[in-house]
Structure 1
Amino acid sequence: MISLIAVFLSAAVVSLLATFPMVWLLSLFKLGQPVREEGPVSHRAKAGTPTMGGIGFVITIFALILILIDVEFHPQYLALLLLTAAFAAVGLTDDLLKVFRRQNLGLTFRQKIFLQIAAAAAFAIYMTFSGHNLTLSGFLSNSGFSDPYLYQFLLIFIIVGSANAANLTDGLNGLLAGTAGIAFLAFAFLSVKLHVPEANVFSLVSAGAILAFLYFNFPKAKVFMGDVGSLALGAALAGLAIILHKELRLMVIGGIFVIEALSVIIQVMFYKLFKRRIFKMAPLHHHFELMGWPEIRIVLLFWSIALILGIIGIVI
């Protein structure tokens, strides 16, 4: 137990040390976040806040996992790191384009999806042909697949969906960092229950690194994680769930991300069908903003829901 706490705290300390100079450099070179014109009016005050702070915790996760896990003996965790790094690279490219263009227009939707599918496909193909069982784990039983291509398609869908759902959640200071940190802690407990120490280490390192980032990101944020952080977190969670064969349980543990993504899908479909909106704005956290809720209240509510869902995901 003491060693596990040490892993978590070490990741938190390294993340803090890595992010401090990142914030200074991002501020020095004025690499600030452009704000969406169609977003809530209250967000315009956040324009110019340094972005891409997620680089700090992504580097922390990458470095500590290479130190703490023998990836030569457990190559699936090297594949997971490469998946995380690939999605971080897509996010970083998107962030840099937004910053240098000085508007909230980075990669096009097609460019982002193509790159994400390519990265997810590489991971899915590796997992399929590296001895990974072709099963998706539900809550009571496992569903096996005789067709590896169908299995790969489902893995790609899970990874890309998780990454973009996390990206949608990153709309309020501290919202994604807190909910993702809780999700990784849930997987840490789940991996103890499943007797998978490597997954436990990966989860604790990720949780420690991300929750430490809240020092910089909790309202009023000194830095945003950017797409480099949000896409990496969503992909890492999905990849970890796949390694553990807990893909469907991810929908519970990461339920906040599912809710946020569904709110966007429902909003778009309802408007196309009936020319009316269900929510004042999507994703869902913006709906509460436009209802007049303070940002901190929304964040704490979503954290609380994430904690409850995390506990449910562990015990079911």
Structure 2
Amino acid sequence: MSMLSLFIFFLLAFALTYFMRAYALKKNIIDNPNERSSHSVPTPRGGGVAVVCSYLLALTVLIYSQQLTLHIGLTLMAAGFVIALLGFLDDHGHINSMLRLAIHFLVAISVVISLGGFSEVTAFNGLALGFSANIIAVLFLVWLLNLYNFMDGINGIASVEAITTVVSMAILYYVLNTTLNSDIHWLLAACVFGFLLWNFPKAKIFMGDACSGFLGLTLGILALIALKENLALFCAWIICLGVFVVDATYTLIKRVLSGYKMYDAHRSHSYQILSRKWGSHTPVTLAVAAINLLWLLPLAYYTVTQPLAYPEFMVLVAYLPLILIAMKLKAGHPDA
């Protein structure tokens, strides 16, 4: 993948975000602050559609130039398009949460079937998962899709998480000289970066559900593609996604145990608490980038380059400090 190609798709996403902002203002697609919000000023939303459109075009180009197999390309494009369209419609008018979740499951099941299933996967140095691996894969995709929406709450955080994750994994693919395609990672980073400049440090437009769900699903599919190669690579993906996975999962479990409904609006994620404590979104987003690159990436590198009997153990090592941070900040606590 040439630098020129990356620059072209970066510019495309940047330009499309400008037009999406104009469209949102014209149609009054505005995100007004509520009890879940971490912002205080009404801001247009839906700018992430630019990322979706530019990345789908990038995948089309890769398929046409035979740099990406038709099977993988169409799986990413079809699943991503459906989730992005669902999010786009939700941005324009509320869609019933149960209907939305049902579609999420249908898309996730379709992806797992398209990828050939995961019944052959073993964990913990030989434990055969059988058909249960397919169920776990479906739940993984649905949860990652939704948690990405939960975590898209302050300026730049969802974009920075996506960029650092795919760049980290692209670096690992290069180090390992794997046959897996890393061009799809670099192109996604370029497209997201084109949007990021409109969203960070000061948000001129928000990403919206169309893109947050799209990113969560896309990252999940890329992780499952790595799982077809080997478990250590999949564990590396899980490690690199650690900030979002831990914050969203810990907060949700804490809130459910406290008697709250799963989709109740709130501001008790670790990143939201920190943004209030520090009085700004910017240092929190930069802290996420630092954790991803200085803590999670080295651990992911160790996981894929060392002959570990239990690569799953490295996920625990990576997550433990993040869990302790969430506990210290009282994430999910009603008074947080």
Please give the range of the TM-score, normalised by the shorter of the 2 chains: 0.7 to 0.9
Question: 1:94 is matched with which residue: 90, 97, 117?
Answer: 90
Give the secondary-structure state (helix, strand or coil) at the position aligned to 1:225: coil
Deviates more, 1:86-95 or 1:236-245: 86-95
The residue that corresponds to 2:251 in the other structure is: 264
Aligned residue number for residue 83 of structure 1: 79
Q: TM-score, normalised by structure 1?
A: 0.83
- Whole-angstrom distance in 1 between the partners of 2:268 and 2:214: 22
Shift of residue 133 of structure 1? 7.5
* Structure 2 stretches lacking a partner, 5+ long: 228-232, 261-265, 304-336
CA 1:67/1:144 → structure 2, altered by over 3 Å: closer, same or farther?
farther
Separation of aligned partners in 1, 2:274 and 2:102? 32
Q: Of 157, 161, 177, which residue of structure 1 is paired with 2:139?
A: 157
Change in 2 beyond 3 A, CA 1:82/1:233: same
Change in CA separation of 1:247 and 1:107 when aligned onto 2, cut-off 3 Å: farther
Matching residue of 1:24: 22
Structure 1 residues 267 and 145, CA, compared in 2 at 3 Å: closer, same or farther?
A: closer
Q: Taking structure 2 as the reference length, what is the TM-score of the superposition?
A: 0.78
- Distance in 1, matches of 2:48 and 2:243, equals 20
Q: CA-to-partner distance for each residue in 1:132-183, whole Å, 9 max, x for gaps?
A: 7732678xx6765443xx2321111111111112111100011111111111
CA distance in 1, matches of 2:286, 2:141: 26
Partners of 2:146 and 2:67 lie apart in 1 by: 27
1:301 match? 287
For residue 95 of structure 2, give the secondary structure of its aligned residue in structure 1: coil
Q: Deviations over 1:214-263 (max 9, x none)?
A: 11011321111101010000100010011111333322111111122123
- Specify the SS of the correspondent of 2:76: helix
3-state SS of paired residue (1:244)? helix
Residue type of the alignment partner of 1:108: N
- Counterpart AA for 2:223: A
For the 8 Å contact 1:175–1:302, the answer to whether it is kept is: yes
The AA in structure 2 aligned to 1:206 is: L
Give percent identity, aligned residues only: 21
Structure 1 111/229 Cα, relative in aligned 2: closer, same or farther at 3 Å?
same
Gap regions ≥5 residues in structure 1: 98-105, 274-279
Number of matched pairs: 290
2:316 alignment partner in structure 1: none
Which residue type is aligned with residue 55 of structure 2? I
C-alpha distance in 2 between matches for 1:310 and 1:85: 29
The letter of the residue matching 2:284 is: I
2:54 aligns with 60
1:39 equivalenced with 2:25 (yes/no): no
RMSD after superposition: 2.5
**Separation in 2, partners of 1:124, 1:205:** 23
